Every structure is written in C-alpha cells, then in structure tokens.
C-alpha cells in the first residue's frame, strides 16, 4: 500500500522539511526552529557525523545506494527527537522506510518547501556546499519529477519562490499556526500548545 505523508495525529512534536536540493531546507530550518523555540537538526550533517565522512565522500567511496541506507537509518534516529525541526536531504523521501515513518509517526508534521526546478538549481550554484548529484545536471529533471508527487503529500506546502529565508520561515510558521498546529505566540490561546 502506498504511504501518504499527509496525516498527522496527536500534538505536533517535530516539523520535517522536505523538498528538492536548493529548496532552502537547511537555511530555513534553523530560522523556523528559533520561531518555535525548538532545536534544528540537519539529516545530511547527522549522516556526516555518523559516517565520519562528508556526503560527497560517502557517495564517492560507497555509492549512492549505501548513502541511501545510511540516510534512512540516520533519519529514523532523528525522528525520535521531540521539539525538533528536521531538514531531510532532497532524496530522503524516495526511501520506503522513511516515507513509512513520516506517515505513521504521531506528532510528525511534514512541510514541503516548493520552488521551480530552475530556481533551485540557481540557488545550489550560488551555495558553497558540494552536491554530488549536481554533477549530472541532465538527470535532475527526471529525479525532480519522480520526487515531486512524494513531496506534494506533505502536511503543508509553502512556495518559496521570490522569498527570503526569513520570509519563508515566517510563512511556514504562520501556515502551521493557521492550521492550529502551533500556538499563536502573540498571545491567542486558540492554537494547540506544543
């Protein structure tokens, strides 16, 4: 049975940021965590700590399939943490066990940071980080199209097109508040308290 990422049961304990490379997950994550008073975790950094290698070196030395297994195991550990904002690597949702966890775990709210593929590639080219998959630009549209329906199953989707990282964090926070997934910090008690 296909897993959908949409449902969240129980009070939210963690927000998981999804989206393609260049969506802004690792940049927006800490800004959103600050607004929530939560802790930020980046799945790629956690993989690097665990492997004792950079992500490009894991790809180079062990291959993409080994990276995906390491990624799924690392994410399973991160998803046990409460009061957390967690940025996943762009390909994490392709692993069935990660999708299964995201959809079944009480308190997990998924947020898809959306933008045009061209915009995200431009952002990647401006950033300093090395991304192994950017070495084959021709394969990116197919990867993106394969993943898009998985990202679109997130609890909440926010368009990041033309927005600064702070504006995206504000937009995500207000979407969570509108859906009563977080308390209104301005003082209203109508939101669910985390």
Which residues of the chain form contacts with ligand S3P (CB under 6 A)?
Answer: 21, 25-26, 44, 55, 89-91, 131-133
The least distance separating ligand S3P from the CB of residue 93, rounded to whole angstroms, comes to 10
Q: Which is nearer to ligand S3P, 45 or 175 (CB)?
A: 45
The least distance separating ligand S3P from the CB of residue 160, rounded to whole angstroms, comes to 13
Q: Which is nearer to ligand S3P, 42 or 176 (CB)?
A: 42
The least distance separating ligand S3P from the CB of residue 43, rounded to whole angstroms, comes to 7
The least distance separating ligand S3P from the CB of residue 185, rounded to whole angstroms, comes to 28
Instruction: Specify the DSSP element, H or E, that contains 191.
Output: none
Q: What are phi and psi of 163, to 5 degrees?
A: -105, 145
The least distance separating ligand S3P from the CB of residue 127, rounded to whole angstroms, comes to 9
Q: Which is nearer to ligand S3P, 131 or 179 (CB)?
A: 131
Q: Which is nearer to ligand S3P, 9 or 159 (CB)?
A: 159
* DSSP alpha helix (H) spans, 41-135: 43-51, 55-62, 64-78, 96-104, 117-126
DSSP character at residue 161: T
Neighbours of 81 (CB within 10 A): 14
Residues 117-131 as b or e (16 or more Cβ within 10 Å = b): bebbbebbeeeeeeb
Q: Which is nearer to ligand S3P, 11 or 77 (CB)?
A: 77
Q: How big is the CA angle at 8 (ends 7 and 9), to the nearest 5 degrees? A: 120
């Amino acid at each position: 049975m296909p897993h959908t990422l949409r449902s969240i049961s129980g009070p939210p304990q963690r927000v998981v940021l999804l989206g393609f490379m260049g969506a802004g997950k690792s940049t927006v994550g800490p800004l959103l965590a600050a607004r929530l008073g939560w802790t930020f975790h980046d799945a790629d950094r956690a993989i690097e700590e665990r492997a004792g290698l950079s992500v490009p070196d894991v790809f180079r030395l062990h291959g993409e399939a080994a990276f995906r297994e390491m990624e799924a195991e690392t994410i399973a550990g991160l998803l046990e943490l409460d009061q957390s904002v967690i940025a996943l690597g762009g390909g994490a949702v392709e692993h069935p066990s990660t999708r299964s966890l995201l959809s079944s775990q009480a308190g997990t709210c998924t947020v898809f940071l959306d933008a045009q593929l061209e915009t995200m590639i431009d952002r990647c080219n401006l950033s300093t980080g090395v991304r192994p998959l950017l070495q084959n630009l021709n394969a990116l549209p197919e990867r993106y199209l394969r993943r898009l329906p998985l990202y679109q199953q997130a609890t909440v989707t926010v368009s990041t097109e033309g927005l600064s990282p702070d504006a995206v964090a504000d937009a995500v926070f207000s979407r969570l508040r509108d859906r009563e997934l977080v308390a209104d910090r301005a003082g209203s008690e109508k939101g669910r308290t985390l």
